[in-house]
Amino acid sequence: RSRCGGGKGNRDGTGEEMDSSSAAGLSGADPQLQRFIEVETQKQRFQQLVHQMTELCWEKCMDKPGPKLDSRAETCFVNCVERFIDTSQFILNRLEQTQKSKSAFSESLSD
């Protein structure tokens, strides 16, 4: 499940690499703080994606703001979220495949 040998991979398409508290240089610190940072980082990642998807899906799903969110728009938003996550996963999976089949892929990236 880990990609770079130390990551907490998840399948929501957001792809984390290393532990967030070790990324902050706090490997030896108070475990309570460490846990706190992990939890808050996770929460923030979620929040950020909600902000991003709301913005994107608003463009696709909202015409003229009315007195309430009608069911068609609501469905559009839900579909939009699902398809966004699908897109993200698709990209990660295909990238992984490309790297496996063509070992020269990473070399061409550094050029």
Partner 1 sequence: MESSFGSDFGSDFSSGGGGSGKLDPGLIMEQVKVQIAVANAQELLQRMTDKCFRKCIGKPGGSLDNSEQKCIAMCMDRYMDSWNTVSRAYNSRLQRERANM
**Nearest-angstrom CA–CA distance, 78 and 80:** 5
Among 2, 27, 69, 105, binds partner 1 (CB under 8 A): 69
The answer for 2, left when phi > 0, alpha when psi is -120 to 50, beta otherwise, is: beta
Among 27, 54, 87, 97, binds partner 1 (CB under 8 A): 54
**Nearest-angstrom CA–CA distance, 23 and 98:** 28
Tell me which residues touch partner 1 (CB under 8 A). 10-12, 30, 32-33, 36, 40, 43-44, 46-47, 49-51, 53-55, 57-58, 61-62, 64-69, 73-74, 77-78, 80-82, 85
